[in-house]
Amino acid sequence: MLIENNSNNLGEELGTLFVVATPIGNLDDISKRALSVLAEVDIIAAEDTRHTHKLLSHFGISAKTTALHDHNEKQRAQQIVDWLNSGKNVALVSDAGTPLISDPGYAVVNLCREQGAKVTPVPGACAAIAALSCSGLATDKFQFIGFSPAKSKARKEFLIDAVNSGVTSIFYESTHRIMASLDDMREALGDDQQVVLAKELTKSFETFFSGSVVELIAFLTEDTVRQKGEIVLMLPGKVANKEAISPDAVRLIQLLQDQMPLKKACGVAADYLGLKKNALYKAMLEQD
Ligand code: SAM
């Protein structure tokens, strides 16, 4: 029994909340530990119980489930903590991937932490991390920024903030909005903005596309079937590498450097250009 190998094991007076990742497409990506935990807990709190029952029956697991979704999780959270306090073990799952990552579960885990209940992860698939790991973009520093906003103005600001962060940005995009979102990206960040699309990860039609936003729009317009499916988009940070500093920015810093030290010049240029001072300084040091 895998749960017994865990420090938070069955048989203790208090129960444990297991936050269990499930596959994002390929069912073989479920872990042995996830299967043991799902088979052994007293109850599974699931985003969509019908969806989870399909997964469980695929693996021959019959388990008691309860619904935990965005609309009831605040009320359900206390009930789950009460179950844990009465010695029951509970698993938390979402429809796919890691719970809480653009999925329900935050209210429950937060309350468990506040009230001292045990919470332990059963890690596995997460679309954001799977996409990043194969994107070819910088992975030393990155940010996950959820779904892009639905409204164009907010979305443009979201995209500008993403590249100005200076680190790789990963976000989820809905298939219905992908073309509108890419049009906004072109308008807000320019035709040459580099972008990586990761689609249908771990499924039959898994696709990665890297190129400029204009090239991506052309690729998706050429065959509209390519617009369908589950999508992750990734943007490189503006000054993540030296090519990303515009020649104008370099020239400005060089002019300022006649009057002040490089670090100060980067600070002034960063204020003027709306960039991060440290990222600009680092990028200038990396210039040949
Ligand atoms: N909790 C999940 C995770 O760990 O990745 C994410 C849930 S969120 C509601 C669903 C979004 O994740 C989709 O709209 C899509 O943007 C992304 N996603 C989920 N599965 C994916 C897949 N197989 N390929 C690409 N993106 C995926």
Residues 120, 84 contacting (CB under 8 angstroms)? no
First vs last C-alpha separation in the chain: 58
Q: How many CB atoms lie within 10 A of CB 154?
A: 12
Residues 179, 216 contacting (CB under 8 angstroms)? no
**pLDDT, tens only, 30-63:** 999 999 999 999 999 999 999 999 999 999 999 9
CA of 256 to the centre of ligand 1 (A): 45
Residue nearest to atom 2 of ligand 1 (CA): 97
**pTM, entire model:** 0.83
Pocket test for ligand 1, best of 19, 24, 47, 147 (most atoms within 8 A of CB): 24
CA of 20 to the centre of ligand 1 (A): 15
| DSSP state for residue 226 in the 8-state scheme | G
**pLDDT, tens only, 115-159:** 999 999 999 999 999 999 999 999 999 999 999 999 999 999 999
Q: Which of residues 248 and 60 earns the better pLDDT score?
A: 60
Strands, E assignment, 21-153: 43-46, 65-67, 90-93, 118-122, 142-147
Q: What pLDDT shows up at residue 12?
A: 59
For the CA of 198, the closest atom of ligand 1 is: 25
